[in-house]
Structure 1
Amino acid sequence: MAGDWKIGSDRRRRTTDQLRDFRAANRGQVAWDTEAPADFTYIYHPDRVLVRAADADAFDRAVAELDRGILAEAPLRDDVRLLDGELVRYVLGERAGGESVPDVLDLLEAGGLPRGAASPDHWVHVSPGGGGGQLCPAIEPQETGLQEPWPPAAPAREKSSRVSVVVVDTGWNPASAADPRTPWLHGVDGDDELNGPELRPYAGHGTFVAGVVRCAAPDTDVFVEGFAVGGVGGGGVLESDLVVQLEEALAHDPRVINLSAGCRTRLDLPSIALETFHRTRLRRHDTVLVAAAGNDATSAPFWPAAFDWCVGVGSLDRDGRVSEYSNFGVSADVYALGRNHVNAFPEGTSVCHESPDKGDVRRFDTAMARWSGTSFAAPLVAGLIAREIAESGSSARDARDAVLARAAYESDPGVGPVMVLHEPWA
């Protein structure tokens, strides 16, 4: 990474800042697939490999046939049982030639291991991107003098039933549930984000997302399942750990799960961990997963939004056009407002970590912030699905279909045909 300080683009500086901070937050257990961090496509654990249980024997055989000069010792099977053993995690030992996990997988596949049978353990981050993209929401949170959320809170319906929604995110700010300035969050609960006067990077992300859900669907019981609380993880989580959090989310019997996070993967193959979670867990429940499409302005698949069983949500500006930063294509089933949301945010001081605002100090003292990204388009759609369930009594999947049926097909130059959900702010 020598010479990175010479990068002449705010976007590239921003990505480099993000990856360096992210690696530091995770004690160096972060690698990426390019020499220059600003060009990364995906990020992963430098020593872990994920394999479906059904492919574990084939993986072991392929490793046994690999040149011993590459792997002096066979990979160790992690003793953590993931998804009741349906997902196996291996730890690679030292590689004599310095081969990366993707290098080893390339060699195994060249020797006959089916492509996609094994995968790096990718890092999933709050609405990340790749290919010179972003590891975070489209911007860092901004102060606002506004006292009401935007989009505004929808009125509660007398005949609506309560609907459970779980937000799997960075954690929850308990003070927001009792603050008279954010009454739409009263009754929300979750894993304490453990904020202090100096807010950590990505603090408030889960709280803000929960606020968007509650504004769209007042008749919801919202729980924020935290995957990066107390300053751990830098706003990210490994795939193998995320599926554990998603499994815990299902214990709340949610009708809707919102995940404003995702990742690119090696060779853009479907995430083994998330596919296994769906196959062995999610599809057994009447639960819809809604996920952010990502903020890298690319049509490359972004997981889990790109799965056909997930509702991937891209971002619109207030004029109804697709946001400049929004991913599109297979990762965005529908687009909703993602630009300049205003919602609940912890009070405290935040120091910007990313170019061009690096070092700027922002003081949040109104219990609110302004924020943009597909991270916030997703919970708007999640809330609309939950509201449809509450008002119609339908199944989660039927409610999803009803909400998407209200979207209009439009054309956006540079993006193409898109399905745009203009309500409820039109």
Structure 2
Amino acid sequence: MGDWKIGDDRRRRSTDQLRDLDRANDGQVFWDTEAPADFTYLFHPDHVLVGAEDVEDFEAFAARLDKGVLAEPPRRDDVRLLGGDLVRYVLAPRPGGESVPDVLALLERDGLRLGAATPDHWVHVSPGGGGGGQACPATEPEETGLTEPWPPVAPQDEGCEVKVVVVDTGWNPPSGSDGRTPWLKGVDGDDELNGPDLRPYAGHGTFIAGVVRCLAPRTEVFVEGFAVGGVGGGGILESEIVGQLEEAMAHHPQVINLSAGCRTRLDLPSLAFARFHRRHLRGKDVVVVAAAGNDGWAAPFWPAAFDWAVGVGSLDRDGRVSSFSNYGVSADVYALGRNIVNAFPDGTFVCHESPNKGDVRVFSTGLARWSGTSFAAPVVAGLIARQISETGSSAADARDAVLARAVYDSDPVIGPHQELRQPYA
């Protein structure tokens, strides 16, 4: 296919990230463009997701397809998703080489309702680059000489306990008992199994849990890991992350932080996230805070773009919207996301993305500096949790109160006592 890494650093980074994700998932990551740096969404090469009420139509239209496209009917996967509300099919090899999006386009041409069936998209915590469909962070972690977090710990003497679940890459247990990061005492989660050689995305969930705890010290935080042990290269399929979200709900959270997401085919709402909301969140007092993504554009990034999620974009230290931050429908509010400092595992990290590929970074202070909408999201999640704790309000009322403190601005600029910004409607 040639060397698609030619171009600016953003395109090279996108290509590096995508190649890494594909290798970590045994070549099961496909994209919608020839050059990987230009992709808008990622998908499994054989999976199709269908809502339960559209199963009969999908199977009927698939049966009518030319046998040169589908030599065999789609096989219904035996994985039970969302209590059967979501069905995953596996397409047999296509003699003509049609991709999943090609097959869906043919079905829709013949009359299948648009959105009834979708690819199984890859949800990822990868940095943003020159391509699309990426989440966070915007940089690889950097060493810092600082000994305190930023934003700093906001002391809180009184208030009820609030439950927050961070659905992310897992938890670094040593950080919870490290004297250098006392704000993480009592945090628990799925052990991400770090060693002296740190994998890509190691510490991502721990760092986010630390940001939440700094803003809201009286929170019970659990890190639900979807890439424990480095499995998946920081990515997970739509059809699989809903299971992790169901596990998160078993902890009875009032706030869920998800610093990951995806673009989708035709920018249609993510079917898996929509079904999770319908089954588990509708009528429940749970607020989902999601990163808006780091591609610097306005296309919808799911789940942040849903009206039931609080999508968070990033501000620089000077209060302006970060150059990497998504905006538009995915960003309901902006918070500090550039050069955040918080807990990080000790160890050696070798950068794997251009232009720093091969750079060796040694972490030995229990902290790191990191940037991205990944880290702006837990600022907002922490503020909502603190509002619940201090007022005893519902999660929904706390969300509304926190968002009401944001100032509307076409180009958000932060002031000394103004934490959040909203774009003009």
Q: Shorter-chain TM-score: what band?
A: over 0.9
Q: For residue 137 of structure 1, report the CA deviation from its aligned partner.
A: 1.1
Q: For residue 424 of structure 1, report the CA deviation from its aligned partner.
A: 5.0
Does structure 1 residue 53 correspond to structure 2 residue 52? yes
Q: Distance in 2 between matches of 1:420 and 1:276?
A: 39
Structure 1 pair 419/363, CA: closer, same or farther in 2 (3 Å)?
closer
Q: Which amino acid aligns with 2:90?
A: V
Q: Counterpart in 2 of 1:216? A: 215
Preserved CA contact (<8 Å) 1:165 1:258: yes
Q: Counterpart in 1 of 2:151? A: 151
Q: For residue 141 of structure 1, report the CA deviation from its aligned partner.
A: 0.3
Q: Distance in 1 between matches of 2:216 and 2:198?
A: 28
Q: Counterpart in 2 of 1:199? A: 198
Q: Which amino acid aligns with 1:323?
A: S
Q: For residue 22 of structure 1, report the CA deviation from its aligned partner.
A: 0.6
Q: For residue 129 of structure 1, report the CA deviation from its aligned partner.
A: 5.0
Percent identity over paired residues: 75
3-state SS in 2 of match to 1:312: strand
Structure 1 pair 422/290, CA: closer, same or farther in 2 (3 Å)?
farther
Preserved CA contact (<8 Å) 2:14 2:128: no
3-state SS in 1 of match to 2:28: coil
Matches within 5 A, 1:22-421: 22-126=21-125, 132-133=131-132, 134=134, 136-158=136-158, 160-412=159-411
Q: For residue 18 of structure 1, report the CA deviation from its aligned partner.
A: 0.6
Q: How much is the aligned-residue C-alpha RMSD, in angstroms? A: 1.7
- After superposition, give the CA deviation of every residue in 1:50-96 in whole Å (9 maximum; x if it has no partner): 00001111101110111111111001101111010000000000000
Structure 1 pair 185/18, CA: closer, same or farther in 2 (3 Å)?
same
Q: For residue 411 of structure 1, report the CA deviation from its aligned partner.
A: 2.0
- After superposition, give the CA deviation of every residue in 1:175-201 in whole Å (9 maximum; x if it has no partner): 000000000000000000001111000
Q: For residue 285 of structure 1, report the CA deviation from its aligned partner.
A: 2.0
Q: Distance in 2 between matches of 1:20 and 1:127?
A: 12
Preserved CA contact (<8 Å) 2:304 2:331: yes
Q: For residue 365 of structure 1, report the CA deviation from its aligned partner.
A: 0.5
Q: Distance in 2 between matches of 1:385 and 1:271?
A: 25
Q: Which amino acid aligns with 1:335?
A: Y
Structure 1 pair 244/208, CA: closer, same or farther in 2 (3 Å)?
same
Q: Distance in 2 between matches of 1:342 and 1:396?
A: 27
Q: Distance in 1 between matches of 2:282 and 2:416?
A: 25
Preserved CA contact (<8 Å) 1:41 1:130: no
3-state SS in 2 of match to 1:150: coil
- After superposition, give the CA deviation of every residue in 1:15-72 in whole Å (9 maximum; x if it has no partner): 1111111100111110000000000000011110000001111101110111111111
Q: Distance in 2 between matches of 1:420 and 1:81?
A: 49
Q: For residue 132 of structure 1, report the CA deviation from its aligned partner.
A: 1.7
Q: For residue 3 of structure 1, report the CA deviation from its aligned partner.
A: 2.2
Gaps of 5+ in 2: none
Structure 1 pair 384/406, CA: closer, same or farther in 2 (3 Å)?
same
Q: For residue 127 of structure 1, report the CA deviation from its aligned partner.
A: 5.7
Q: Distance in 2 between matches of 1:164 and 1:212?
A: 15
3-state SS in 2 of match to 1:193: coil
Q: TM-score, normalised by structure 1?
A: 0.96
3-state SS in 1 of match to 2:342: strand
3-state SS in 2 of match to 1:144: coil
Q: For residue 128 of structure 1, report the CA deviation from its aligned partner.
A: 5.6
Q: Which amino acid aligns with 2:175?
A: S
Q: Distance in 2 between matches of 1:323 and 1:421?
A: 18
Q: Distance in 2 between matches of 1:424 and 1:298?
A: 23
Q: Distance in 2 between matches of 1:255 and 1:198?
A: 35
Preserved CA contact (<8 Å) 1:167 1:222: yes
3-state SS in 1 of match to 2:282: helix
Q: Distance in 2 between matches of 1:421 and 1:313?
A: 20
Q: For residue 284 of structure 1, report the CA deviation from its aligned partner.
A: 3.5
Structure 1 pair 407/420, CA: closer, same or farther in 2 (3 Å)?
farther
Q: Which amino acid aligns with 2:293?
A: G
Gaps of 5+ in 1: none
Q: Distance in 1 between matches of 2:88 and 2:130?
A: 27
3-state SS in 2 of match to 1:4: coil
123-132 or 42-51, which moves further after superposition? 123-132
Structure 1 pair 277/131, CA: closer, same or farther in 2 (3 Å)?
farther
Q: Distance in 2 between matches of 1:373 and 1:423?
A: 20
3-state SS in 1 of match to 2:313: strand
Q: Distance in 2 between matches of 1:20 and 1:86?
A: 33
Preserved CA contact (<8 Å) 2:318 2:414: no
3-state SS in 2 of match to 1:71: coil
Preserved CA contact (<8 Å) 2:325 2:373: yes
Q: Distance in 1 between matches of 2:19 and 2:32?
A: 14
Q: For residue 422 of structure 1, report the CA deviation from its aligned partner.
A: 6.2
Q: Distance in 1 between matches of 2:337 and 2:260?
A: 14
Structure 1 pair 421/46, CA: closer, same or farther in 2 (3 Å)?
farther
Preserved CA contact (<8 Å) 1:172 1:204: yes
Preserved CA contact (<8 Å) 1:130 1:264: no
Q: For residue 421 of structure 1, report the CA deviation from its aligned partner.
A: 11
Structure 1 pair 127/389, CA: closer, same or farther in 2 (3 Å)?
farther
Q: Which amino acid aligns with 1:51?
A: V
Q: Distance in 2 between matches of 1:53 and 1:419?
A: 46
Preserved CA contact (<8 Å) 2:150 2:340: yes
Preserved CA contact (<8 Å) 1:143 1:362: yes
Structure 1 pair 418/366, CA: closer, same or farther in 2 (3 Å)?
closer
Q: Which amino acid aligns with 2:174?
A: A
